[in-house]
Every structure is written in C-alpha cells, then in structure tokens.
Structure 1
Amino acid sequence: MKILNQTFLQWWKKNSCGYRALLFDIDGTLIAGRKVMPGASALIKCLEGTRFPFYLLTNDGNHSTEEKSVMLKRAGLNIRPDRIVSCADALVPFTEKNMLKGKKFFVMGDLGRPNFAEKAGLKVEKKTRKICECQGVIVGEGTYNWQSNINAAMNYFIKYPDRYLVVPNPDSYWPNGSSGELGIGAGGKARFICTILADYGIRKKPTYLGKPYGAIFNYAFEILIKRFNLPASLQKKQVLMLGDSLASDIHGANSFGLTSGLVLTGITNNDHIKKAKPSFRPDFVFPGIN
C-alpha cells in the first residue's frame, strides 16, 4: 500500500501508461451529495478525449443507467448511460448462466426505468398473490409495501427454499444526502428475510450482484474487453478501480484481482485504513482526484 501526497490526476498523468482501463465508484469519489468532486469533470473529459476505456460502477439498482446519467448531469457531471454499470446490469449474465430467459421473477420494489430485469430477459411480477408462479425473488429498492412483500417472500421461500433470492445491491443501508439520515438498502431487507428463515430452520443464501461481490466486476471486465477491443488475455491488474469505500470498492477490487485506489473524499479516513485487514487495504491512497 502506497499513501501518496499527490492527487489522483497528478499521479495518473505520470502513471497511466501502466494501465489499460479504469473503473470508478460514483458517490464519494466523483460526486459529493449533489456536487461534482474537484477535478472529476476534467478527468472524465481527459479520458473521453483520449478514448481511454473506463466505466462508472454503482450499487444503485433503483435507477436505470439512463436515469442515473440524468442525475449525474444535474450534479454537473456529463456521463452517457453506456458509461455506467449498475449492480442490476449483472442480471444479464445471471439470467444467461442459469438459462432463465423468459422466466418470471417476483420483484420487490423498483429496478429502474427501463427495468433491469426486463432488459435481462426476465418477466416481472409485482403482485404478491402470484409470487408462487415465479422462479425466484429479486430484491429491488424504492418505495413499496415492505410488509406485504417481505411476508410474501418469507412464505415463498418456506414453500420453495431452493428457488432464487437475487439481490442486486448488497448494501445494508444508503446515505440520504439531503437529510443526513440513512435508508435501509436492499441487502438489509434480504438479510432480514434470511434471518427469519434461519429461525424457522431454513438456510437461505442470497445471490449478490453488486460491489464488493464479483458479479458486477466480472460483468464490467467482460464488457471492457468487448467494447474497447482489449485483448482477451488482459491482466486484471492492468485495470484500476478507484473508490472511497474499503468494504465495497477496495475489498471488491482486491478480491477480483484488480489494482485498487482509494480517495479520502468519501467515507474512509486514515484511521480506517490503519485498522483495515489486508484484503481491505488499497494499493494506492490519494487525498482526492484533484
């Protein structure tokens, strides 16, 4: 681990030749609340100007990449939808791997507009009375009737314990930038269901898609190669993941085999780094992007 005094932009200008692609976290890295981090816009323009391969990775499965692009533009960061990879995008390889195209899934809450599940080739069911017709449950986010949905999902897995419980966003909570309070994330709701099932004697293991789990990184790595004509033999260490969270961005990148970079503009400080386990420590630490 190298703790650097120079910003990421300063370091990147001298060291970019050692990498073939970049992956960015969004909140706390490129965006702070509803404002762009200093240097973020310049960095993105530089990468686009040189046609350097990059994607933005997000655990926001509640907004489609089209919706997320609009939100970022409002904050002052111009990012096209096709530069964003959502945790829910990993429903595509999940559907293909398990040969589920055309199958019906019960969706708790929202999965963006257009809907990520439908884009992956799944049929979406929202009515709790029809949950038993489904091959599994996908835990979305947003505002919906938690009581009826959680009760339906709990009883569904008591009847069908081997069916799929898919969680695009594994986060237990998310920060509400406007109020400073926390909201309960999809991962938290899924683990609540699993805790009740465990008390009942049923061990249910969710399929997580977002950071720090491998599904989102594997999907991003594969489309980097396809879209930018990178060699199939591309080394994972030639891809750098830049984020602000040790638990999500850094641990996920390290586990997948990428080079990891941490910016101290989000939720992590130097004390957190000192106390972190080796698998949670970044390769590089930067004070910020610029």
Structure 2
Amino acid sequence: MLDLDGVVYIGPAAVPGAAAALQKALAAGMQLAYVTNNASRPPGVVADHLRDLGVPVEDGHVVTSAQAAARLLADELEPGAKVFVIGGRGLFEALLDEGLVPVQSTDDAPVAVASGYDADLRWRTVTEGAILVKQGLFWVASNMDISVPTARGHGPGNGVLVEAVAGFAGRRPVVAGKPLRPLFEETRRRVGGDRPLVVGDRLDTDIEGANNTGLDSLLVMTGVTGLPELASATPGLRPSYVSADLDGLGSAHGVPAPAGEGFELGGWQARVHDGEVAVEGSGSTDDWWRVVAQTAWQHLDTTGGPAETSALRPPG
C-alpha cells in the first residue's frame, strides 16, 4: 500500500529511482496499490499521472480517501440518497460509483455531507455545507491532512477546512483517510493482498495508520520525514522497516544489534553522547538510517526526550 506524494512522486515529478524500484517489485511478484489521502483527483487521473512517470499501474489499483468516504456514506444511506459535497471531482465520482447522488445546493434536500480537498472550492459551497453539518446531517471527511503539496510549496489541506466547519457546527466528522482504518480497509477490499505492507514518508498518517490497523510499514526517507522527526517518533509512530528510498522493497532489512551504549549494523556504530547521536563507520545508506533510528528511539524511551541530530548527515 504505497503512499504517493513523497514516496512515488513529489509534485509532478517522480522521486528519483522510484519507477525502476516499483517495476522490480512487480517483477518479484508484489501486488502494488497506490493509496492517497488526497480526495481531489479521481483514481483514473492519478493512474494516468503514474503511467506518465513510467510506473505501470491499473486504474483499479489506485485507491483514494474519496472512495473510502463514499463507502462509509453508502453503508449508512439508501441507494440514490443525495449527498452535499464540500469538495470536487474526486468526491463526485466516488459517490456516483457507490450509487449516491452528489449535489452542491441545499435546494436538492441532501441527507448527508461529504468534505474533501478541492483547490477551486467556493466559499458559498463551504457555507451551505457547514450549515447542513450544524443541522446534524451525517458528515464524512475524506481526511484531516493539515497541509497539501502545491507548486509553490505546502499549503493548507482539507484538515484546516474541516476544523473550521467543525468549530462552527460544534461537532466532528467521521474520517475516512489515514491514519484511520477505513482507507486501508477499502484498499484491501479493492486490491486484495495476503501480507499488506504500508509504504509511506509521513509518520503521522502512513506509519501511524499502519500501526492503528495492525499492518507492517516501511518508512522511506524521500518525503517530509527527516532526522528530527524520526528521532522523536514515539512507539505509535515508529515503522516496522526503514530505508532511504523504494529500493528498500527489494532488499533484506538488517536489525541493529546492541553494541555498548548504542547499536551497530552493517559497518555502522551509533550511540548518544551528551544528548547527541554520533555515528561512526561505513556501510549502506539504508543501514545508516536503521542504526540511527534504533539508537535515537532507545534514548527517547529511556530519557523521555529526543536526542539531537542536527550534526548528522546521511551518507550519499
């Protein structure tokens, strides 16, 4: 279950080496699902983007939080029920696929509300939807992401708008996206798989979501998580595996072994000295990340505070 932004691509461009790594994973017999909290684009549009980047994918192997939200609504509503959409095309298509009718006027007498990110959302639509939420209509949010990547950097995401509506209405939505279970369950329902592995770059959505759902996870260091975030990750935010990039899908993952006051792996030795993580030796970049993470986590669990990592530079 691969996250997209920060894992497969960053904005319009592929993460270096990602397409080749995914092609190798497919050749090795892995089934790949592309799972995104972004509800603005329908799966076919996302799949077209991936294919343009050299990633072989079927439309049905892209699963969005809009689809998970539509499933939650369909489970509660009668077929043909009207749902007010605080969002855009991604939610519209997902609702139609579930036999529901998306609308954006209160004159249509909607019986529920769905909200998701849309860059062109009008404030009038937000206002009418918020009034319906305050009136008590069943409300599902696609996700609660605080930020969304844009061409000019990260901007406010769907979670910012949901919080505004919730503050006005005095109630909270049912949430479909990561780190909660519905999106992962929707992915298994649509794509299948015997031993799911969640692959992501964010601790508070991808990795926390895997832990919430009882799934293994792989953190790749190509997106938003850096050394400070990794070193300060509490147990619920820690991945099963760590690698520098998606090549980690096709390699064995060594386990750091205790060594003195720290850990060692693959030629690297790490320890915490005067509150700072220090690393010596040489080896692979992946093993460097693993030994640093294990050493920092032991320090955090022992002292209650994160170790300093600002002086560290990953090899390569």
TM class by shorter-chain length? Answer: 0.7 to 0.9
SS of equivalent to 2:246:
coil
- Which of 156, 164, 181 is matched with 2:132 structurally? 156
Q: Is the 8 A contact 2:199 2:217 kept in 1?
A: yes
Q: Specify every segment of 5 or more residues in structure 1 that has no aligned partner in the other structure, as ranges.
A: 1-22, 199-203
TM-score when normalising by structure 2: 0.72
- Within a 5 Å distance, the mapping from 1:23-172 to structure 2 comes to 23-112=1-90, 115-127=93-105, 129-130=106-107, 133-144=109-120, 146-158=122-134, 160-161=135-136, 163-172=137-146
Q: Deviations over 1:104-155 (max 9, x none)?
A: 001123032971111111101122x426x11111113324454212221232
SS in 1 for 2:198: strand
Decide which of 154, 161, 167 is 1:189's aligned counterpart: 161
Q: Which amino acid aligns with 1:221?
A: R
Q: Secondary structure at 1:115's aligned position in 2?
A: helix
Number of paired residues? 247
Counterpart CA distance in 1 for 2:125 and 2:218 is 39
RMSD (CA atoms):
2.1
1:235-274 → structure 2 map (5 Å cutoff): 238-274=195-231
Greater mean deviation of Cα atoms: 61-70 or 183-192? 183-192
Paired with 1:270 and 1:190, the residues of 2 have a C-alpha distance of: 30
Tell me how far 1:26 sits from its aligned partner.
0.9
Change (3 A) 1:71 1:189: same
- Do the aligned residues in 2 keep the contact of 1:91 with 1:120 (CA within 8 Å)? no
Query: How far apart are the structure 1 equivalents of 2:185 and 2:191?
Result: 10
- d(CA) in 2 for partners of 1:275, 1:281: 10
Could you give the per-residue CA deviations for residues 77-117 of structure 1, whole angstroms, max 9, x where no partner exists?
33221121111111353144214321000112303297111
Deviations 1:239-276 (A, max 9, x none): 21111000010000111000011011110012211212
- The Cα shift of 1:51 comes to 4.1
The answer to which of 241-250 and 113-122 deviates more is: 113-122
* Offset, 1:189: 0.9
Give runs of ≥4 in structure 1 deviating > 6 Å.
none
